[in-house]
A and B are shown apart, each in its own frame.
Chain A
Amino acid sequence: DTGVSQNPRHKITKRGQNVTFRCDPISEHNRLYWYRQTLGQGPEFLTYFQNEAQLEKSRLLSDRFSAERPKGSFSTLEIQRTEQGDSAMYLCASSSMDQPQHFGDGTRLSIL
């Protein structure tokens, strides 16, 4: 069990560019979650997968955001046409059944 792995750890990009983040969950976990966290705040839920099915999406997930989990293992989160307000830490978590969610270290996105 190597924990939840996220790449890259840091991403700096210009406004208007597209970015993609990757999350590798704990191998036996069938549930995967994406959250966003800004400084001084708690994580905010974005979306949830059970295996390859995206079962829940937050209203925070605008049409510029898309997430996939094609084979029920790793997941990607893409942000198109990035805006200043997208600057945040993007956290991935995984769990099995109704067990606690285990978080990765996150990808810190900075928009110039």
Chain B
Amino acid sequence: GQSLEQPSEVTAVEGAIVQINCTYQTSGFYGLSWYQQHDGGAPTFLSYNALDGLEETGRFSSFLSRSDSYGYLLLQELQMKDSASYFCAASLDTGRRALTFGSGTRLQVQP
């Protein structure tokens, strides 16, 4: 089957840096996306990696290593509003448009 593993919860303080890891076991793999979801809200796209390496978008960066079946989301200069759930999601091949999501990591930012 297809699975993406993430830590269930992470806690950090305002202004700090936090890394949320995602390991995947899938029968195919095309790319890894990251989404943020506040309670009661819609998942919001943050970042996407199709190639190995680091993608930077403002305070958020995402990394992918295909050889290790591993990626992470890095959040810098944490703010209280970053408290939310974060999901990694895999695109399994070019012909499939469905995203396969992990179970999510709940980030709590403390003052």
Contact = CB atoms under 8 A, between A and B. Distances in A.
Contact of A45 (B33, B42, B99, B102): B99
Nearest to B33: A100
A31 B87 contact: no
Most chain A beta-carbon neighbours within 10 Å: one of B33, B87, B97, B101: B97
Interface residues of B, number: 21
Interface string A29-43: 001010100001111
A31 B104 contact: no
A25 interface: no
B101 A43 contact: yes
Interface string A81-108: 0000000000101010000111111100
A93 B44 CA distance: 10
B58 interface: no
A58 interface: yes
Interface of B: 4, 33, 35, 40-45, 48, 87, 89, 96-104
Given A58-B98, A93-B43, 10 more contacts: A31-B97, A33-B99, A35-B99, A40-B103, A40-B104, A41-B104, A42-B89, A42-B104, A43-B99, A56-B97
